[in-house]
Structure 1
């Protein structure tokens, strides 16, 4: 054997110089078929029991799936019993078609027809492997032998359908398993032969499913295979082109999307990409990719957290924190620049009244999938100035002025580094409380009075009160100014606090109703030339601003 990478055979490309799929756009949803209960279930360490399968089946119906592959009823008694339970106890809605998988082998096909007796709508999905490698290594036969297996299976299925005593609406699906590893011309030939054996027509089409059973090539090459197949199939009008991508190269969704551009009309996949090896194509990701492009996926993804709970409980599989749309961290920004952009996007959405979702770094509104805004920005030592401010505003209603962001951010980063982890919103607010609202007070107002006076057309504000220093000494304060802050500054200058300079001020309400309160953010320049912020809260806006000044001085002299 050759060493290292040299032992692998490069995938043979399709000669399709006039390919059309790159010029196409996805404008509508495909026919979706969930294979969670078959392909997904068979890949579990502990397959779902009857109760779990029933719950999962009903969840798929609630999402809007109209075609659901429920299992391989001829493979085991358990699978057979689940099929019978669904039929006999009326679990299947009238507009939902169950799909059953079976190898193109006589005794398995006959048992499959027994398993579905009494169902209203059934797709019998039969298959045999056609790939070059499996013909050589597994079956040791040529293409003629593989075609005979498929055609014989098709003839038996047609015969059993004709002989069937009941009113079941049968449809058929054929998969040349490992399609992507089959020579394109051979894949076309075997499917044409199956269509002929079944007598499929434009009015009664065969679902021709082209599985990327093992993802062997780049998504664009898979798209070339699909377009080649659709162009060259003799009985194209009698076929619905279906795809079944797997994710061995990590490109299952991309392969599925490009296959739709190339002419596929139907997609088989699973929720969150569960399936053999690295999984099947993730229908949730593909569907929501369409959703974010203004295309209705025709499936209900409005409560992904509920779907996640059902999925993880029934399969014992865990969804990765980075899984698109549903992972714990996908709507989370730690980077400072990302946090700032999201924060500005939120403000733009609120202020502009735009009809469209226009927020940087968030390709979808979390609310559209049942997620919440709160977790979007999370705080760690790498977070930027705007991140902590966003959480304070979004979670607690404190709209910190932009000039205050750097100061508060340093306090938050110091706490993150002390703990060695991110802060949850509650802990972030505790940093705010400790450093501002509950800060040690050297100076405390024991009484206060603020009133206005007009004289000779001029308006003045008076401040009078008493202030304790270090809890003991009490001094009287009196000052006049053009506003409450100016009056208070003039009052405290008389008792030695004359080295602080007022820089900026902002204020907003933090509650509503008769007990509403205002919060004031005051920025002062300290004697050393650096700035510091203080916060005051009171039901009286003038008092809140005065308390903010005193809070800044107390913080400066701590």
Structure 2
């Protein structure tokens, strides 16, 4: 029996003429990392000092200029880490640190004192404002709740005047549980706080609106933010910030829609660490911008190193399917996906071979919204092979590993072999295994010393990869004495095809020939490589004959049984 009747749908916002649905994001917001505070508070094992320092240095290297470094009154470790940063002068001049504190007298005083000596810092004051917290947790009326925020602001200003005269001091206020607070009351509290702080030219204020517990759809949060954007006074002196959580799994959407609605800053964590289902993932948000052609303002060019550092600091793994950063997000197993990816890379390779600038060439690869190279990943794991894979995946692996551009029918045939092996083994087939299987089967069979001549001419098509013959040349010009030599073996060359030039071709200095022969009722393939067309074609045809003698092809015929007896 369902229990949905026990849950109440949250209220929406009456916002006629909402503008955010028609807007687009054309610039990155300001970023604040809260990995060292909100993220750290959510860990089973809070970070040790060396892990905190590694995280701080990573954030600085990535380009964060606003970093929430802790909750100094929450623990001695947080206090000591803040003092370490200040006393060892570890904070770059362009980085503003932030610390969090509840709206309580003694806590505010201790927090301000912990910042002594800082060049640039923001104190982030908060108190919960939602009806549930006013009623259930604190037993406060609306006016009493607002007074906490007002008095907290006054106390901060009083203690800051005494202690932080030389600091470039900023102030941030958050109505905690904002997403569950009546919009008009959240506005009332923020206006009362601003009446005390008096924001103006050279004296801004950050008002931060968290989805402390995500309960509604992202469009409702966007409505809430646009409503505030319209109604806040002194708007030009307010940085409207958001702090989305991910309880409904829509933290990224909430952040992006909030930016459309007027938010200027986003708080979150690398890879979405945080209480319950986490904070919004700043890596995902930043790379979403990059894939829309917008500079995110963060350096994510070595995402593997960023991920390793975060995993070490948090002692938590990043999920293999995490957007952009997971081990498997650039990997395709599905045959249709693999085929589309390979064709996309082929088109790109042709453009590059024609002289296109790789820095200017648009990234248009099916199923890959981001070029893995842009975040320090390689193409090696883009396609991986298992029982779900098809000809496209097999072709991609052979192209990327061996520089082999297989004809379509050969791709189909070999894909069946690989799929059968994956089914039999019950596991993924590694790229090196795929390459070894192909070469063993088609290019390195046990050659017969002198091929046995066929009684009837064997129709033969040669697919040539490399510079073995000129495009447009006549068959006689292309093959020279080779055609007569193959005829002495019983091979009648009907067609010669040039396999298109690609980036894979340029990695090979030899010529590759794929010989396709129809022997009775069987189609048999062989592959040969050599420095020239003549040697590669002879090796390919020898491979065909040897494979035919050992039963390769759709089915055996009396002709092949005669060969076996002769052998």
Structure 2 length-normalised TM: 0.88
How many residues in Structure 1 have an aligned counterpart in Structure 2? 520
Structure 2 residue ranges without an equivalent (≥5): 453-473, 551-567
Distance 1:114 1:511, change over 3 A: same
Q: Residue in 1 aligned with 2:430? A: 424
Counterpart secondary structure, 2:381: helix
Residues in 2 aligned to 1:490 and 1:126: alpha-carbon distance in whole angstroms: 89
Cα pair 1:332 1:378 within 8 Å, conserved: yes
CA drift at 1:162? 2.1
Counterpart secondary structure, 1:550: helix
Cα pair 1:213 1:246 within 8 Å, conserved: yes
Residues in 2 aligned to 1:23 and 1:492: alpha-carbon distance in whole angstroms: 71
CA drift at 1:229? 1.3
Cα RMSD, aligned residues only? 2.3
CA drift at 1:441? 3.2
1:517 aligns with 2:523: no
CA drift at 1:459? 11
Q: Residue in 2 aligned with 1:21? A: 20
CA drift at 1:434? 1.9
CA drift at 1:418? 1.7
Match of 1:371 among 358, 377, 383: 377
Q: Residue in 2 aligned with 1:526? A: 519
Cα pair 1:131 1:179 within 8 Å, conserved: yes
Cα pair 1:506 1:520 within 8 Å, conserved: no
Q: Residue in 2 aligned with 1:489? A: 486
CA drift at 1:144? 0.8
Q: Structure 1 or 2: larger strand share?
A: 1
Distance 1:320 1:6, change over 3 A: same
Residues in 2 aligned to 1:547 and 1:442: alpha-carbon distance in whole angstroms: 11
Q: CA offsets, 1:322-372, max 9 Å, x none? A: 111111111111111211111111111122337211111111111111111
Residues in 2 aligned to 1:459 and 1:50: alpha-carbon distance in whole angstroms: 74
Residues in 2 aligned to 1:532 and 1:90: alpha-carbon distance in whole angstroms: 73
1:542 aligns with 2:539: no
Q: CA offsets, 1:450-487, max 9 Å, x none? A: xxxxxxxx9989xxxxxxxxxxxxxxxxxxx9644422
Distance 1:404 1:237, change over 3 A: same
CA drift at 1:394? 1.1
Cα pair 2:117 2:164 within 8 Å, conserved: no
Q: Residue in 2 aligned with 1:388? A: 394
CA drift at 1:122? 0.3
CA drift at 1:424? 1.3
Distance 1:186 1:367, change over 3 A: same
Within a 5 Å distance, the mapping from 1:132-531 to structure 2 comes to: 132-164=131-163, 166-352=165-351, 353=356, 355-444=361-450, 483-493=480-490, 516-528=509-521, 530-531=522-523
Cα pair 1:252 1:280 within 8 Å, conserved: yes
Distance 1:267 1:459, change over 3 A: closer
Distance 1:413 1:504, change over 3 A: farther
Cα pair 1:502 1:524 within 8 Å, conserved: no
Q: Residue in 2 aligned with 1:71? A: 70
Cα pair 2:404 2:505 within 8 Å, conserved: no
CA drift at 1:165? 5.2
Structure 1 length-normalised TM: 0.89
Residues in 1 aligned to 2:156 and 2:198: alpha-carbon distance in whole angstroms: 11
Cα pair 1:22 1:261 within 8 Å, conserved: yes
Q: Residue in 2 aligned with 1:4? A: 3
Residues in 1 aligned to 2:328 and 2:20: alpha-carbon distance in whole angstroms: 34
Q: Residue in 2 aligned with 1:467? A: none
Residues in 2 aligned to 1:405 and 1:167: alpha-carbon distance in whole angstroms: 71
Distance 1:444 1:5, change over 3 A: farther
Q: Residue in 2 aligned with 1:553? A: 545
